[in-house]
Amino acid sequence: MLLLLRVILYSIAIPALIIAICISLSTSNKTITIPQWQLTSADIQRAKKILHANQHSADQVVSLSLSERDLNIACAYLLNLYTDSQSLVKLSTNYLSFQLRFTLPNNLFGRYLDIQFQLYIPPYQAPKIKNLQLGQMTIADAYAGFLIDKAIQHTRLNQYLNLLRQNLKEIHLTSGQLRIKYQLPIQASAKIQSLLTPNIDERALNQYQETLDKTLLKHDAKWRLSLSEILQPLFQLAQQRSTAANAIEENQVVIFIANRYVNNYPRSGNKNKQRKTIPYYPASLYKRTDMAQHFMWSASLSASGSSYLAHLIGVEKELNDAKHGSGFSFIDLAADRAGVKFGEYATANPTQALKIQKKMAHITNYRAFMPEIRDLPENLNVQAFQIQYKSTYSSKYQSVLQKIDQRISACEIYQ
């Protein structure tokens, strides 16, 4: 009997030990430098054009010729839609080399997962994974493809890649370009778009939308609609619906619904016809609709796991406004950063998700989550910005960001 017990314990302990060793070897707390692609507004548009190339070409052959920069732009944009990551793609004869670093949730082993591999693309043959490294572990080529497939099998990114893989007609490397041809059926176009947007439970979405509609019907048209009037009842419903197991998902739905309304994005489906009697009031923060729009857009992107992308797009928009628009605005940028903080906090972990629900369900005004920022500089053209701050890397510019972040962190809901 004792021998049998030992055999059972060993059979449990040995695989667990092997798994623990593998995880510890594949993860790390070491800081490494992967060249960070600073995506400009034009880069982001280029990434969308690459990833959504089939949008206006359903059931037609799509041909793409991608440079090394194109590949890095698309990879950085796509991965940051799903998780906090860094990436580097290098193009050489018959090979694409990938260096990826993913930031992991808090754990006992390491903060980062580092993955390196090469995609071998021989002429007129199917691509193959070679030289796969997970942290300090080197994986034999015979198992590399299997492991990569398993790593993304249960993610929505896998569905996106499978659609392209199943409908791929041609892929080859030539003259420093990756050339791809694929043809997606008409019904796949809508599926591609849905895979690149947050996964929302339709029943929950409808319940939150009904709550928002009731709020709008009760609003006095003589007064501005405060963003807090939208968020407070939605989080009240989230608190009623949530447990530790689903609080994060409920908060994501709240933020998605609020952002869709505040930024006036169209809804899909026949229910649009039923909503003609629901009034639309622009939401505001400190009597400014642009602040509410910046806040909710950034919160939505952050809640979906794309904080880095939200920060990056926010800065690029202001730099572009300095050249061609209303000027660089630290007020807009502060609203972006406040939205990112809000989205991160609401979805960081179940405890914080429940905590923010409780506080947001009882707020009386927007100052609970949005500090006073109207004293910050704005309307700066390129020359004025460069004279005062030189660049976004200067100590003076960074000190303004630090002041903004301190004000945001002092808000009631984060205490």
Q: Which of 197-201, 338-342, 353-357 has the lowest mean pLDDT?
A: 197-201
Same domain, 248 and 377: yes
> Which backbone phi and psi does 229 adopt, to 5 degrees?
-65, -30
Check residue 94 and give its pLDDT. 80
pLDDT digits over 192-249, tens only?
545 444 555 677 788 899 999 999 999 998 999 999 999 999 999 999 888 888 899 8
Task: Please state the separation of Cα 142 from the chain's center in Å.
Answer: 33
Instruction: Kindly state the average pLDDT of the residues 113-135.
Output: 79
Confidence band for 369, pLDDT divided at 50, 70 and 90: very high
**CA separation for the pair 317, 335 (Å, rounded):** 13
How many domains does the structure of the chain reveal?
A: 2
Compute the residue count for the chain.
415
Check residue 367 and give its pLDDT. 94
Instruction: Kindly state the average pLDDT of the residues 107-133.
Output: 76
Residue at 15 is within a domain: no
Check residue 371 and give its pLDDT. 94
Token pair for residue 117? 């591999």
Check residue 270 and give its pLDDT. 42
In the predicted model, is pLDDT for residue 98 greater than 80? yes
Q: Of 180, 195, 210, at which residue does a domain stop?
A: 195
Same domain, 245 and 268: yes
Phi-psi bin for 319: left (phi > 0), alpha (psi -120 to 50), beta? alpha
Same domain, 70 and 159: yes
Same domain, 112 and 140: yes
Residue at 18 is within a domain: no
Of the two residues 294 and 309, the one the predictor is more confident about is: 294
Of the two residues 294 and 57, the one the predictor is more confident about is: 294
**CA separation for the pair 167, 57 (Å, rounded):** 14
Same domain, 279 and 149: no
Helix (H, G, I), strand (E, B) or coil at 116: strand
Same domain, 109 and 207: no
Check residue 347 and give its pLDDT. 92
Same domain, 276 and 174: no
Q: Which of 16-20, 224-228, 367-371 has the lowest mean pLDDT?
A: 16-20
Q: Are 252 and 198 in contact (CB under 8 A)?
A: yes
Check residue 173 and give its pLDDT. 79
Instruction: Kindly state the average pLDDT of the residues 28-42.
Output: 65
Same domain, 246 and 177: no
Q: Which domain holds residue 252?
A: 202-414
First to last CA, the chain: 56
Q: Of 174, 195, 216, at which residue does a domain stop?
A: 195
> Which backbone phi and psi does 402 adopt, to 5 degrees?
-60, -40
Q: Which of 10-24, 151-165, 195-209, 379-393 has the lowest mean pLDDT?
A: 10-24
In the predicted model, is pLDDT for residue 33 greater than 60? yes
Rg (CA), the chain: 24
Confidence band for 18, pLDDT divided at 50, 70 and 90: very low
Check residue 79 and give its pLDDT. 72
In the predicted model, is pLDDT for residue 149 greater than 90? no
Q: List, in sequence order, every residue forming a beta bridge with 174; answer none if it has no partner.
A: 177
> Which backbone phi and psi does 153 adopt, to 5 degrees?
-60, -35
- Listed in sequence order, the DSSP H helices in 52-140 are 68-82
Same domain, 153 and 209: no
Check residue 12 and give its pLDDT. 41
Measured from the Cβ of residue 340, the count of other Cβ atoms closer than 10 Å reads 24
Same domain, 116 and 262: no
Beta strands in 199-274 (DSSP E): 225-226
Check residue 119 and give its pLDDT. 83
Residue at 409 is within a domain: yes
Q: List, in sequence order, every residue forming a beta bridge with 168; answer none if it has no partner.
A: 182
Residue at 13 is within a domain: no
Q: Which of 155-159, 336-340, 380-384 has the lowest mean pLDDT?
A: 155-159
Own/partner pairs, 266-274, CB within 8 angstroms, 24+ separation: none
**Mean of pLDDT over the chain:** 78
Residue at 348 is within a domain: yes
Confidence band for 17, pLDDT divided at 50, 70 and 90: very low
Check residue 219 and give its pLDDT. 92
Same domain, 278 and 407: yes
Q: Of 154, 170, 195, at which residue does a domain stop?
A: 195
Residue at 9 is within a domain: no
pLDDT digits over 304-314, tens only?
777 777 777 78
Residue at 61 is within a domain: yes
Confidence band for 19, pLDDT divided at 50, 70 and 90: very low
- Listed in sequence order, the DSSP H helices in 242-329 are 247-262, 271-274, 289-303, 307-324
Residue at 10 is within a domain: no
> Over pLDDT 90: what percentage of the chain?
29
In the predicted model, is pLDDT for residue 266 greater than 80? no
Same domain, 125 and 186: yes
For 3, 330, 383, the CA distances from 391, given in Å and listed in that order, are: 70, 13, 11
